[in-house]
Amino acid sequence: MSYDALLWLSFGGPEGPEDVRPFLENVTRGRGVPPERLDEVEQHYQHFGGVSPINRLNRDAIAAVEPLVDLPIYFGNRNWHPMVEDTLAEMARAGVKRALVFPTSAYGGYSACRQYDEDILRARAAVGENAPELVKLRQFFDHPLFVESFADAVREAAKDLGEHRLVFTAHSVPLSADQAAGPPEDGGRLYSRQVAEAARLVARELGVAEYDVVWQSRSGPPQIPWLEPDVVDHIEALHERGVPAVVVCPIGFVSDHLEVVWDLDTEARDKAAELGMGFGRAATPNNDPRFARLVAELVAEHTDGVPARRLSEFPAYGCTVNGAFCATLCCEPARRRG
Ligand SMILES: CC1=C(CCC(=O)O)c2cc3nc(cc4[nH]c(cc5[nH]c(cc1n2)c(C)c5CCC(=O)O)c(CCC(=O)O)c4C)C(CCC(=O)O)=C3C
Ligand SMILES: [Fe+2]
């Protein structure tokens, strides 16, 4: 199959103090996130001058991928400029008929996969009949280049720490969303099980037998259960068990965006310092040259029939055309069910 372009599809983030509130409103529209939580998150962004690093990190990664692929790369986001609707309109004007889409998430689940399908549907509907055909690349949580880059990052973060516990962290989601993650016939929990599998692969690469998988950045109303334990609470629990230091590996993310620099480099690091524990945080893959190669390989699976490299046989989906869902009821949000 031939393609005219690659669309880099990401979350988006504010680029100045006035952007923060409208960005947060875009993210949480219709999601029942309490206003107090939004006020709190607004402060995290304002602490960094209202600028999330995520757009810059995406632009850097795109620049690293450009020399490795034969396609022009376009950049569009779900929640902030450049908005994917505008990017897709620009692609249509440039004559793009069929494009691959790289979503900046390695996993399945509603927030990590299906919501990017919804972005594709929305953007194609906005552009209308000239909308390019869009083929989304697959979930890559078990790609050897993803796993190796995290393993090296953990080695680097741990190098001066001595005895420590390795703790993987990913974005928490409501338990109901995790239960609905993946095609129902797979039994659900695709997101948390893929995160656990990626953690297992990185730990295996490092030869580490004991480690934990925990969650961060929980949102939503307090009465709704989300994946636990939270990383900060877990650091306290490790301290009580006499663990002298932690290395936190943000396996759930591809870049050091605001939820990594705030929730880990600020909150988790401060908690460890308060308890007198050593703390190291592994870098995410975004700026590792292997990440650019990973994207180029995912593209080559489609353009050159290069076989998919995977370290596990764990269920993986995500590759669909024009925003179709991976399977009937795949990652269907509970609130939208009958
Ligand atoms: C699974 C997952 C990923 C990983 C997959 C992927 O990477 O796509 C992810 C990534 C990200 N999440 C991000 C930011 C936010 N997420 C929020 C809220 C939420 N995230 C959720 C899940 C996830 N989120 C959920 C279930 C909610 C509740 C609302 C809802 O049901 O949708 C909120 C609202 C405020 C709050 O925290 O309450 C913000 C600001 C940023 C950008 C950071 C930056 O600006 O640098 C990134 C990359
Ligand atoms: Fe999020």
Rounded Cα gap, residues 62 and 5, in angstroms: 13
Q: Are residues 70 and 118 in the same domain?
A: yes
| Residue 101 · residue 302 · CB < 8 Å | no
Nearest CA to ligand 1 atom 27: 219
Domain total in the chain:
2
Say which CATH number the domain at 185 has.
3.40.50.1400
Residue 34 domain flag: yes
Looking at residue 14, its pLDDT comes to 98
Please give all residues whose beta carbon lies within 6 A of any atom in ligand 1, as ranges: 11, 13, 24, 27-28, 31, 33, 37, 41, 52, 54, 104-105, 111-112, 171, 173, 217, 219-220, 252-253, 257-259
Whether 311 maps to a domain, the answer reads no
Residues facing 99 on adjacent strands = 5, 134
- Give the pLDDT mean for 312-323: 96
Q: Is there a domain that residue 117 lies in? A: yes
- Alpha-carbon span 7 to 88, nearest angstrom: 8
Which ligand is nearest the CA of 260, by number? 1
Spell out a b/e string for 192-228, using b for 16 or more CB atoms within 10 Å of the CB, else e.
bbbbbbbbbbbbebbeeeebbbbbbbbbbeeeeebbe
Bridge partner residues of 279 (DSSP): 246
Spacing, Cα 283 to ligand 1 middle (Å): 19
Ligand nearest to the CA of 54: 1
| Spatial separation of the C-alpha atoms in residues 133 and 3, rounded to whole Å | 9
Under DSSP, is residue 242 helix (H, G, I), strand (E, B) or coil? coil
Q: How confident is residue 338, by pLDDT bands cut at 50, 70 and 90? A: very low
Query: Which residues does the annotation place in the binding site for Fe(2+)?
Result: 171, 259
Q: Is the dihedral of CA 259, 260, 261, 266 positive or negative?
A: positive
Which residue ranges are tagged as binding site for Fe-coproporphyrin III?
52, 116
Determine the residue of 42, 107, 111 to mutate for testing ligand 1's pocket, defined as the one with the most ligand atoms within 8 A of the Cβ atom. Answer: 111
Closest ligand relative to 215 C-alpha: 1
Q: Which residue has the tokens 């304002």?
A: 46
Tally of CB atoms within 10 A around 258? 21
Question: Among the atoms of ligand 1, which is closest to the Cα of residue 258?
Answer: 46
Examine the domain organization and report whether 282 and 149 are in the same domain: yes
Specify whether 210 is located in the same domain as 246: yes
Kindly state whether residues 53 and 113 are assigned to the same domain: yes
Task: Say whether both 191 and 61 belong to one domain.
Answer: no
Say what the pLDDT of residue 335 is.
63
Does the pLDDT of residue 25 top 50, yes or no? Answer: yes
- Domain span holding position 235: 144-286
Q: Note whether 281 and 158 are same-domain residues.
A: yes
Give the residue, out of 102, 217, 262, 331, with the most ligand 1 atoms within 8 A of its beta carbon, to mutate for a pocket test: 217
Distance (Å) from CA 72 to ligand 1 centroid: 28
What mean pLDDT is reported for the chain? 96
Which ligand 1 atom lies nearest to the CA of residue 109? 1
Q: Is 302 found in the same domain as 249? A: no
Q: Is residue 120 located within the same domain as residue 155?
A: no
Based on the domain organization, do 299 and 280 belong to the same domain?
no
168, 213, 216, 259, best to mutate for ligand 1 pocket (most atoms within 8 Å of CB): 259
Percent of the chain with pLDDT over 90: 96
| Averaged pLDDT for residues 83-112 | 98
Evaluate whether residue 78 is within a structural domain.
yes
The answer to whether residue 98 scores a pLDDT higher than 90 is yes
Percent of the chain predicted with pLDDT > 70: 99
The structure tokens listed for 188 are 């659900």
Residue closest via CA to ligand 1's atom 45 equals 13
pTM value is 0.97
The token duo for 256 is 């050091």
pLDDT at 145: 98
| Closest to 183 (Cα-Cα) out of 334, 327, 333 | 327
pLDDT (average), residues 67-96: 98
Q: Do residues 273 and 215 both lie within one domain?
A: yes
Is 76 within a domain? yes
Contacts of 101 (CB under 8 A, 6+ apart): 6, 7, 9, 116, 120, 134, 135, 136, 137
Phi–psi pair at 270, nearest 5 degrees:
-65, -40
pLDDT reported for residue 337? 41
Mark 295-325 as b/e (b = at least 16 C-beta within 10 Å): bbbbbbbbbeeeeeebbeebbbbbbbeebeb
Same domain assignment for residues 173 and 104: no
Residues tagged in the binding site annotation: 52, 116, 171, 259
- Is the confidence at residue 257, as pLDDT, over 70? yes
- Which ligand places an atom closest to the C-alpha of 191? 1
- Atom number in ligand 1 closest to CA 217: 37
215, 247 in Cβ contact below 8 A? no
User: What's the complex ipTM?
Assistant: 0.96
Q: Is the pLDDT of residue 32 over 90?
A: no
Are residues 201 and 265 both part of a single domain?
yes
pLDDT at 334: 76
* Structure confidence at residue 222 (pLDDT): 87
Distance of CA 41 to the CA centre of its chain: 18
Ligand 2 mean position to 227 CA, how many Å? 13
